[in-house]
Amino acid sequence: MKNNSIVITPGNNKTVRIIEAYTETICDNLFINDAYYGNILMCLTELNEIFADNDVMREIELSYETDFSNLIINAVFLDGNHIRHQTDKSITDSEVHYQLLETLSDKLQVLDDRIILEFNISALHKSIYEERKLQLKIYFNKVVGVTKES
């Protein structure tokens, strides 16, 4: 395991605290502002929820890399199994989680062997902030009162 990574087990009651500490470390190390801290934290928490909701209880490595313009976070199963067939939004009940990931990150990729979240951290301009705020307001207005179908 690299020093820019952590291992989580979805469904573990300590996982959210581990993700929060990891997000704080990333943001402190890269001088990322509070607005993006919230986006990153929510994305990683939602990613954990996707795994937990789909009963993926295996160890997952979260790691990040950056060129100081972009932050890329990878989620990979440590046992080498494929992620896609167990988390693909078209075959799971994770669509709401994926909508939030797509709204809060700049790019989301679900590949066979990993899920990649990308954030443009070079500058969070006011117009980007206002647009995301509007998107979140619209998103939360849509899902209020929506229940998961059995």
For each of the domains in the chain, give its residue range(s) and CATH number, in order of start: 5-143 (3.30.565.10)
Q: Two tokens at 61?
A: 């490595």
86 pLDDT band (50/70/90 cuts)? low
Q: What is the DSSP letter of 68?
A: S
Mean pLDDT value across the chain: 82
Pairwise CA distance, residues 92 & 146, whole Å: 17
pLDDT for res 128 = 66
Q: What is the DSSP letter of 32?
A: -
111 pLDDT band (50/70/90 cuts)? confident
Instruction: Tell me the mean pLDDT in the region 82-98.
Output: 65
The pLDDT of residue 126 is above 60: no
Instruction: Tell me the mean pLDDT in the region 64-80.
Output: 89
Cβ proximity of 21 and 112 under 8 Å: no
Answer left, alpha or beta for residue 74, where phi above 0 means left and psi between -120 and 50 means alpha: beta
Distances (CA, A) of 129 to 28, 33, 96: 20, 12, 21
Instruction: Tell me the mean pLDDT in the region 95-108.
Output: 88
The pLDDT of residue 1 is above 80: no
Enter the pTM of the model. 0.76
pLDDT for res 144 = 60
